[in-house]
């Protein structure tokens, strides 16, 4: 079954894949030259990933560290560009290593072209990654 092509539907679909821990299918939603940015990333964490391969490497071990259970608060706002949405969401679950609760609020600006993510700016709280077990990126912290 092909992925949805509207930005809002594609984003909702991507969240279902994250909850299913299907990282290869999530990465398949990306354009080959897609860019993922983390403007608030702390020192030692990546701030910009260029290309589907870099996104795949970044997300590869995500389910081994963060066990997402739900996105209980999701708001998707259309912008004046029909291919771009602004997303407000909250992800909840647990940190696998410590079994501590995981609760993160995000704002993302996401652009979709031809049914694939081309730009994803992820504004998340860098203080949350100070918890043991939250670092799934292999950062140098």
Give dist(CA 66, CA 96) in Å, integer: 6
Task: Please give the Cα distance from 8 to 33 (Å, whole number).
Answer: 20
Model confidence pLDDT, tens digit, residues 92-117: 999 999 999 999 999 999 999 999 99
Spatial contact of 47 and 37, defined as CB atoms under 8 Å apart = yes
Note the pLDDT of residue 127. 76
Instruction: Extract the residue ranges of the chain whose pLDDT is less than 70.
Output: 1-3, 128-141
Cα dihedral 5→6→7→8 (10° resolution): -120
Taking the CB of residue 80, how many other CB atoms lie within 10 A of it? 5
pTM of the predicted protein model: 0.87
């Amino acid at each position: 079954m092909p992925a949805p092509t509207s930005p809002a539907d594609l984003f909702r679909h991507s969240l279902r894949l994250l909850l299913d821990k299907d990282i290869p299918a999530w990465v398949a939603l990306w354009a080959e030259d897609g860019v993922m940015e983390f403007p608030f990333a702390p020192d030692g964490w990546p701030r910009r990933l260029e290309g589907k391969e870099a996104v795949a490497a970044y997300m590869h071990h995500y389910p081994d560290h963060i066990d997402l259970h739900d996105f209980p608060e999701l708001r998707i706002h259309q912008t004046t560009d029909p291919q771009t949405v602004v997303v407000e969401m909250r992800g909840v679950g647990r940190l696998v290593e410590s079994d501590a609760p995981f609760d993160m609020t995000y704002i993302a600006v996401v652009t979709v072209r031809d049914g694939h993510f081309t730009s994803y700016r992820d504004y998340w709280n860098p203080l949350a990654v100070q918890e043991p077990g939250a670092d799934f990126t292999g950062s140098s912290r």
